[in-house]
A and B are shown apart, each in its own frame.
Chain A
Amino acid sequence: MWDYKKRVEQDLVRWREAGWVTPAGEAAIRSDLTAGARTLGLANALAILSAVLIGFAVMSFVGANWQDMPRLLRLGILIGSLWASYGLAGALASRGMAGFAHAAILLGVAIFGASIMLVSQMYHMDGNPPDAVLLWAAGGLLAGCVLRSNPALALTMVLVVIWGIMEAAIRGQVFWPFLGPWAIVSAAFYWRRWRPGLHLSGLALTGFVVSLGYLLNHGHAHGLVVAVGLLVVGASLAGSQLRPDLPGLWPGVLNYGIVIASAGLLALQFVNDPSLDVFVLLAVLALMASLAVIYRGMHTGNGIAVWLGYLGFSFEVLSIYVKTIGTLLDTSLFFLIAGLLVSALAAIAYRIHSKGAAREAA
């Protein structure tokens, strides 16, 4: 949908320059394009939501009193609704309603998952629940790849994450096999050239790396998380120099690196409970890193990095404040020094910001 809009807009410029379209005609086309996109976008979103709701309805059928039906009939209902959803998807797509078709595919994948659960219940199977989630994800991947459905792939990634969390929670340790299905679904996102999906992959992997800090080395591996985050940041900085032809990739990679490093840095200070001198060192480093991130974001037009920098800065200051309340450090002197330090940093931040704003205005 968005691709179409972008293409028409590019063409419009060309057509106007060639004198085929009058300025009034161009304005009319533009307004129609915006209106069309808005209503269709909303309709598609509602269709996806309705698929989620109907999927939940099928799943809550688990608790319903359907024990009176013979097992074969129950199985028939499940498989019938499975085929009906995919059939609906085909009918909608052949009428050119791609958004609704994706919603119907999503419903089909949801019914597949509900069926696995209902069959398990029918036969009192209570084995390893994560296995059922993984099987469900495999069904989602199949539908997503064969039917070229991005929403189905997104659901698959969510299921893979749920599977990984369940396995890690049962074992109480890092569940490395998570990375296998994660890589497969990420490859599918890449194959589809679907940016939101790749961001989903980035988020999932970020969560996994941050969890390492809590699961490795008896819960004290946050330094490793910081190191991984810094490596990702470094890779992004190096990459933007070496391969400037991929401008869409590097800022995104940078932001994930920032999130990973910040999560580790915060855990080092506030979860690990370090000694005072280490804490002060880490806090100063974290504040300086936030400023560096804001500066870099301003410099390169990476709005999300700026936002992450501000968020990190505020969160760091707030956490320092909360941590020092009620301790020996809770003296007016400490707050005075900390306050002066932070306000000095804030002043620098303001300078950098206004400099960036001035450059942007120019």
Chain B
Amino acid sequence: MTKSFARSWPAIALVAGIQTLVLCYIVYDRVMLLSRGREIVAEVIPIDPRDLFRGDYVTLGYAFTRSGDVDVSEATNVGDRIFVTLKQDAPEKWAVAAASRDYPASTAPENIVIKGIVSQVYPKNETSPARASIRYGIESYFIPEGTGRKLEQDVRDKKISAVLAVGASGEVAIKSLKIDGKLFVEEPLL
């Protein structure tokens, strides 16, 4: 930017190009996960029915994201990466089977492993070991502005579930929402 800028066009293209590549990589990574990942359906528990639709996104709770539901080692800190193994109890009902700091070496084929970040740690006491709450990055579902209230009415007495895609190293993404078994919105990947 110091001398003649006309000679700096390659520099500009370099910056814009790298930033474009970064954005495209994020999208590519997601599309790969959504299309290739193992698909599971998990029942959604409204965290607070009145606050289900905050502005233009839905806050989703799952049976396996109830607070303090994961046993962890005492050395676990908030912000740590953690791998949680889920087992299926009933259709659309998944529960925590185990948690570890590294991707587990072996799991039963019917189980799945998802990656999360420790959001809260409850120290151990006489009755229970140290426990933690985990965020998996699948707790928000963005919806078009202004459609929240209508959707809220639609789902008041219906069952909601989330269709999730789980990748080979534990990354997890929301594919879509189901209301009473019917897909809420189905968007093309691109």
Partner of B12 from the list A70, A79, A86, A139 (CB cut-off 8 Å) is A86
Most A Cβ at <10 Å: residue of B8, B14, B19, B140: B19
Complex-state Cα separation, A116 to B24, whole angstroms: 10
In the complex, the answer to whether B137 meets A125 with C-beta atoms within 8 Å is: yes
The answer to whether A135 has its CB under 8 Å from any CB of chain B is yes
Beyond A63-B145, A72-B190, A147-B11, whether A171 also contacts B79 by CB under 8 A is: yes
In the complex, the answer to whether B34 meets A123 with C-beta atoms within 8 Å is: yes
Residues of B31-54 whose CB lies within 8 A of A: 34
Beyond A70-B190, A116-B26, A135-B22, whether A86 also contacts B15 by CB under 8 A is: yes
Residues of A144-191 whose CB lies within 8 A of B: 146-149, 167, 170-173
The answer to whether A68 has its CB under 8 Å from any CB of chain B is yes
In the complex, the answer to whether A82 meets B78 with C-beta atoms within 8 Å is: no
The answer to whether A128 has its CB under 8 Å from any CB of chain B is yes
Complex-state Cα separation, A121 to B143, whole angstroms: 9
Q: Which residues of B contact A126 (CB under 8 A)?
A: 135, 137-140
In the complex, the answer to whether B173 meets A124 with C-beta atoms within 8 Å is: yes
Q: Interface code B7-35, partner A: CB below 8 Å = 1, 0 otherwise? A: 01101101110111011101100100010
Complex-state Cα separation, A203 to B144, whole angstroms: 41
In the complex, the answer to whether B190 meets A71 with C-beta atoms within 8 Å is: yes
The answer to whether B2 has its CB under 8 Å from any CB of chain A is yes
Tell me, rounded to whole Å, the shortest Cβ–Cβ distance linking A93 to chain B: 3
The answer to whether B56 has its CB under 8 Å from any CB of chain A is yes
Most A Cβ at <10 Å: residue of B4, B5, B135: B5
Complex-state Cα separation, A148 to B3, whole angstroms: 11
Q: Which residues of B contact A123 (CB under 8 A)?
A: 27, 30, 34, 173
Q: Interface code B148-169, partner A: CB below 8 Å = 1, 0 otherwise? A: 0000000000000000000000
The answer to whether A266 has its CB under 8 Å from any CB of chain B is no
Partner of B19 from the list A63, A82, A128 (CB cut-off 8 Å) is A82
Contact stretch, chosen from A94-102, A233-241, A284-292: A94-102
Beyond A63-B55, A170-B119, whether A148 also contacts B188 by CB under 8 A is: no
The answer to whether B117 has its CB under 8 Å from any CB of chain A is yes
Q: Interface code A258-291, partner B: CB below 8 Å = 1, 0 otherwise? A: 0000000000000000000000000000000000
The answer to whether B62 has its CB under 8 Å from any CB of chain A is no
The answer to whether A83 has its CB under 8 Å from any CB of chain B is yes
Beyond A108-B16, A142-B15, whether A125 also contacts B79 by CB under 8 A is: no
Complex-state Cα separation, A68 to B145, whole angstroms: 11
The answer to whether B103 has its CB under 8 Å from any CB of chain A is no
In the complex, the answer to whether A75 meets B15 with C-beta atoms within 8 Å is: no
In the complex, the answer to whether B117 meets A127 with C-beta atoms within 8 Å is: yes
Q: Which residues of B contact A142 (CB under 8 A)?
A: 15, 18-19
Q: Which residues of A contact B6 (CB under 8 A)?
A: 94
In the complex, the answer to whether A172 meets B78 with C-beta atoms within 8 Å is: yes
Partner of A171 from the list B77, B138, B173 (CB cut-off 8 Å) is B77
Q: Which residues of A contact B11 (CB under 8 A)?
A: 146-147
The answer to whether B1 has its CB under 8 Å from any CB of chain A is yes
The answer to whether A64 has its CB under 8 Å from any CB of chain B is yes
The answer to whether B187 has its CB under 8 Å from any CB of chain A is yes
Residue of B whose beta carbon sits closest to that of A145: B15
Q: Which residues of A contact B19 (CB under 8 A)?
A: 82, 108, 112, 139, 142-143
Complex-state Cα separation, A65 to B55, whole angstroms: 12
Residues of A14-70 whose CB lies within 8 A of B: 63-65, 67-68, 70
Residues of A234-256 whose CB lies within 8 A of B: none
Q: Which residues of A contact B190 (CB under 8 A)?
A: 70-72, 75
Q: Which residues of A contact B143 (CB under 8 A)?
A: 67
Q: Which residues of B contact A317 (CB under 8 A)?
A: none
In the complex, the answer to whether A101 meets B5 with C-beta atoms within 8 Å is: yes
Q: Interface code B94-128, partner A: CB below 8 Å = 1, 0 otherwise? A: 00000000000000000000000101000000000
Residue of B whose beta carbon sits closest to that of A96: B5
Complex-state Cα separation, A139 to B26, whole angstroms: 14
The answer to whether B91 has its CB under 8 Å from any CB of chain A is no
Complex-state Cα separation, A98 to B5, whole angstroms: 9
Q: Interface code A111-127, partner B: CB below 8 Å = 1, 0 otherwise? A: 01001100111111111
The contact sample of 6 A-B pairs, CB cut-off 8 A, is A63-B55, A67-B144, A70-B190, A83-B20, A86-B12, A128-B135
The chain A residues found within 8 Å of chain B, CB to CB, are 63-65, 67-68, 70-72, 75, 78-79, 82-83, 86-87, 89-90, 93-94, 98, 101-102, 108, 112, 115-116, 119-128, 135, 139, 142-143, 146-149, 167, 170-173
3 tightest CB-CB pairs across the interface, nearest first?
Answer: A93-B5, A127-B137, A67-B144
Beyond known contacts A70-B190, A71-B189, A119-B26: 9 more, CB 8 A cutoff: A93-B5, A123-B173, A125-B30, A126-B138, A128-B117, A135-B22, A139-B19, A143-B15, A171-B77
The chain B residues found within 8 Å of chain A, CB to CB, are 1-2, 4-6, 8-9, 11-12, 14-16, 18-20, 22-24, 26-27, 30, 34, 55-57, 77-79, 117, 119, 135, 137-146, 173-174, 187-190
